[in-house]
Amino acid sequence: MKASKDHPNIKNNRFLFAASISMLIYSILEILDSIVIFLIVLNLIPNIALIFQFYVPLIQQLLEAQPLSLAPIFWAFTLMRVISTIGLLKNLLWGFWISFVSLIITMILAIAFLPFGAFELLACSVILILLIIGFCDNKPIITN
């Protein structure tokens, strides 16, 4: 694999750079999410899931009774976001595709986490739009 110094700087494309920074912030939030699960399990902070009713009853039950059971899902998405952020900041195509796939999957799964899922949907939509605009740049749809 070529080193990132062989690729143009990601800052040259303001949309991809904004998407990269957004994914970095999102990665940090995912890491904090993973830490919060442990704090809930250790009873150091209250389980906010007890206040809200989620769309899928099974998720509601898991968050109430066994919040740690959802940790592997959070860790998988955290890992995907961190890796994709590294790829995006290095201006590597695999970073774009891992970001794209993780955002689409998150948007689909966010419906199960309503009402919090609405914020996930909004954040993912903004980042996805930035990624696509940055990737496509000013290329026309139809070329001769």
- For the chain, the structural domain boundaries read 10-136
Q: What was the pLDDT predicted at 39?
A: 81
Instruction: Quote the pTM value.
Output: 0.78
**Is residue 23 within 8 Å of residue 81, measured between CB atoms?**
yes
DSSP element (H, E) containing 115: none
Give pLDDT tens digits along the chain (144 positions). 454 556 678 888 899 999 999 999 998 988 887 787 778 778 787 766 655 565 566 666 776 777 677 778 888 888 999 999 999 999 899 999 999 999 999 999 888 777 777 888 999 999 999 999 999 988 888 877
Sequence-distant (≥ 6) Cβ neighbours of residue 18 within 8 angstroms? 130, 134
